[in-house]
Amino acid sequence: MLKAPDHQVAGHRARDGKLGPLIDDSGRFYKPLQDSERGSREVAFYRDFSTNAEIPDCIRKFFPVFYGTEMAEASDGSGLCSHLILQDLVSGRCSPSVMDIKIGSRTWYPEASEDYIEKCLKKDRKSTSVSLGFRISGLQVFESKESGFWKPGKKQVSNFTPEDVRLVLRNFVSSNPSVDSKNPNCSLVHSVYGGSSGILAQLLDLKAWFENQTIYHFHSCSVLMFYEMEKLLEGRASVVEIKLVDFAHVVDGKGVIDHNFLGGLCSLIKFISDILDGSDESSAKACNLEPEKKLISTDNGHKQ
Amino acid sequence: MLKAPDHQVAGHRARDGKLGPLIDDSGRFYKPLQDSERGSREVAFYRDFSTNAEIPDCIRKFFPVFYGTEMAEASDGSGLCSHLILQDLVSGRCSPSVMDIKIGSRTWYPEASEDYIEKCLKKDRKSTSVSLGFRISGLQVFESKESGFWKPGKKQVSNFTPEDVRLVLRNFVSSNPSVDSKNPNCSLVHSVYGGSSGILAQLLDLKAWFENQTIYHFHSCSVLMFYEMEKLLEGRASVVEIKLVDFAHVVDGKGVIDHNFLGGLCSLIKFISDILDGSDESSAKACNLEPEKKLISTDNGHKQ
């Protein structure tokens, strides 16, 4: 009864005999616990979070529902293995446009091994994580029934520059998406990013929580943004959502806010606000910070 | 006429034949441009900032006034060298309590050399920068005319743990400061941190700017907080201030917010809010994120 999800845009895939998540037809998402520490850390997070009375409902809705763990046939044919059972976020969605954005300029954390830290740091520097405070991990944008989705490949996504990211965030709300055409029409920008229940409003609610919460630090965690273009065009509401996913590297906040996640989230918010304001193309303000070559000659009349 | 400043708490000192900043008796601060790239970068920042019409007055007041550059006798006796001429922030202050807090979990930036990045990263990990998003670089707290200042040594400051930082931020607003006594009285917390013109209010104004400004990225930059205890006790206003200092590593923001500075600033704001709320000691909320050891046994009835 289990099958590979249709609308996964990032992470390991349960295809070609590989280990990856599966879904059933009742709206559940089966995430295999491959590496024991990561897997068990993610289970620990869901257990703690799902029973933590301090999480307000307006924040809890941004997280997938957790149904426990369960043994199930692994997608790679290796037999039964333990799976996290979660809400399938796009279950029942019609041709959803989806983007996975890994938040934070730093995906590593002091408690991790030196090998892991080095690997993460390298990737953070190579991608836009260090420069922008977030990186796009994957996406698909629905174009039309005829042409289907625009879904750039893994390699292309991992090479996104800051300029690409700005363009892709515009493409995500366009009916003519493609990173090669530099003129996405942004036809859906107000219904997807704007309004009182749009993505910007939801990100701002999340930000307000992160300014205060000191329970968890989320490393390598993603914001998933998704919407259904066809339903939007029919004028239906509540089809634009954000969710947080991937909690294999959540650690105890120890009374300190998650400044790394918050900083990246604020940067994403600014990108989306700029697009909404239509000011994204003029936002790179001129400034002249090149070190001066001839300092001596600008001194006030003294001689060396 | 130039002499070493009395109330410097961090950075190079112009004492014992070393190169460091000097002050004159008209309220000017002479900062030597030692290393050519850093020095010229800082001059470039001050030149750009002082003429940038986009900086609102409510933000400009958080920066030292810039008077240009000038040749002056270096404090190490090496002859004339170029100095930045800035406002002496504590000129005319009576026994100021001062704290220098370097903001940001990351003091390096992609454009820097690999050697510099490695050196910074090591220090960021060793100090509280990575964990808290900021680190204390130095401080002095006025106790009384008889006992003078509490001023922990450089070595002690560089070894501050997150718990020390929380305690020191309480000591800073106490009339019985000392990191050894764990019971600072916080007698000045409301007049220094609180109120409509206190440090928290000023930090929040700064934060609002950082949520939007994409002109500069400030690396290794400090927030200086200072106040005059004696004047406060006399009930005088406007003696509590914050200023930003040290701009040798400011780079062009390229249309992106300074998420690294903003994250650290939000963390500092949360620490100070917690102290004002009196909730700092209970803020380390309980959570249980230790990876579970016995995952299999918690599965729902399936067997391997």
Cβ neighbours for A69, distance < 8 A, ≥ 6 positions apart: A33, A43, A82, A83, A84, A85, B295, B298, B299, B300
Residue B265: count of CB within 10 angstroms of its CB: 26
Q: What is the pLDDT of residues A290-304, one digit of tens each?
A: 554 433 333 333 333
Final residue before a domain boundary, out of B74, B89, B104: B89
* C-beta separation of B157 from B138 below 8 A: yes
Last residue of a domain, one of A27, A62, A89: A89
Are the CB atoms for A221 and A137 separated by under 8 Å?
no
Cβ neighbours for A233, distance < 8 A, ≥ 6 positions apart: none
- Which residue of chain B is at minimal alpha-carbon distance from A204? B211
Say yes or no: A15 and A124 in one domain: no
Q: CB distance A215–B287 less than 8 Å? A: yes
Per-chain mean pLDDT for chain A: 89
Q: Which among A269, A271, A259 has a CA at the least distance from the CA of A104?
A: A259
Nearest CA in chain B to A162: B256
The model's pLDDT over A140-165, given as tens digits with 9 standing for 90+, comes to: 999 888 989 999 999 999 999 999 99
Q: Considering only residues 120 to 179 of chain A, which have any Cβ-Cβ distance to chain B shorter than 8 Å?
A: 121, 125, 130-133, 162, 166
The reply to whether residue A257 touches residue B264, judged by beta carbons under 8 angstroms, is: no
Task: DSSP letter for B292, please.
Answer: P
d(CA A61, CA A46): 14
Residue B166 belongs to a domain: yes
More confident residue, B15 or A106: A106
Does residue B292 lie in a domain region? no
Could you tell me if B249 and B273 lie in one domain?
A: yes
Verify whether the Cβ–Cβ distance B45 to A130 is below 8 Å: no
Residues of B in contact with A247 (CB under 8 A): none
Q: Is residue A300 part of a domain?
A: no
In a domain, B295, yes or no: no
Complex ipTM: 0.91
| DSSP H or E segment with residue B83 | strand B80-87
**Based on the domain organization, do A81 and A225 belong to the same domain?**
no
Does residue B242 share a domain with residue B176? yes
Strand order of the sheet with strand B240-245? B148-150, B134-144, B96-103, B222-228, B240-245
For an interface test with B, which of A166, A256, A269, A294 has the most B Cβ atoms less than 10 Å from its Cβ? A256
Same domain, A128 and A240: yes
Q: What is the pLDDT of residues B269-294, one digit of tens each?
A: 999 999 999 855 443 344 556 554 43
Q: Which of A253, A13, A293 is nearest to A138 (CA)?
A: A13
B112 and B221, same domain (yes or no)? yes
Residue B293 lies in a domain: no
Whether B37 and chain A come into contact, CB under 8 Å, resolves to yes
Q: Give residue B152's pLDDT band: very low, low, confident or very high (50, 70, 90).
A: very high
- Determine whether the interchain pair B41/A70 forms a contact, defined as Cβ–Cβ distance below 8 Å: no
State whether B74 and B97 are in the same domain. no
Q: Say if B53 is an interface residue toward chain A (CB within 8 Å).
A: no
Alpha-carbon distance B150 to B179, whole Å? Answer: 9
d(CA B94, CA B148): 12
CB A63 within 8 A of CB A223: no
Structural domain contains residue A286: no
Q: Which of B165, B217, B287, B295 to mutate to test the interface with A (most CBs of A within 10 A)?
A: B287
Is the Cβ pair B256, A68 closer than 8 Å?
no
**For residues B139 and A235, what is the distance between their CA atoms, to the nearest angstrom?**
59
pLDDT tens sequence across A240-271: 999 999 999 999 999 999 999 999 999 999 99
Q: What is the identity of the amino acid at B112?
A: A
Nearest-by-CA chain A residue for B294: A40
Nearest CA in chain A to B107: A130
| Domain boundary residue, one of A66, A89, A112 | A89
CA distances from B235 to B143, B170, B230 (A): 17, 21, 9
Contact B110 A125 (CB under 8 A): yes
Number of domains in chain A: 2
Confirm whether B304 is domain-assigned: no
Contact B94, B231 (CB under 8 A): yes
Q: Are B84 and B149 within one domain?
A: no
Residues B37 and B138 in one domain: no
Evaluate whether B295 touches A69 at the Cβ level (below 8 Å). yes
- Nearest chain A Cα to B279, which residue? A255
Q: Print the domain residue range for A261.
A: 93-281
